[in-house]
Amino acid sequence: MEPEFQRIIVRVLIVGVVIIGGSATALYFAFRAFEKPGSSRAFLWLMAIAFFILVVCAVLWRLSYGPE
């Protein structure tokens, strides 16, 4: 892997983690505002969505290193 490409990938990953973290926080408070007190369903939905996004990103990252 070229050093320039590695630097760009690291920057993209850092920005992506910040965006996912901010979005997850916003979704948590949005789900919590419309949730019944004492229910953890919003948190489970939030974690499922975040996990799905991370899995899709990992698959796309893996596919980007296909046969050259």
**What pLDDT does 4 receive?**
82
Instruction: Give the residue from 20, 27, 19, 14 showing the smallest Cα distance to 52.
Output: 20
Tens of pLDDT along 12-65? 888 888 888 888 888 777 777 776 666 677 677 777 887 888 888 778 777 777
Query: pTM score, two decimals?
Result: 0.52
Distance of CA 52 to the CA centre of its chain: 8
Q: Per-domain residue ranges for the chain?
A: 20-68
**What pLDDT does 20 receive?**
82
Give phi and psi for 34, each to the nearest 5.
Answer: -105, 10
- Confirm if 35 and 50 have CB atoms less than 8 A apart: no
- Confirm if 48 and 62 have CB atoms less than 8 A apart: no
Give phi and psi for 39, each to the nearest 5.
Answer: -100, 140
Give me the amino acid identity at 56.
V
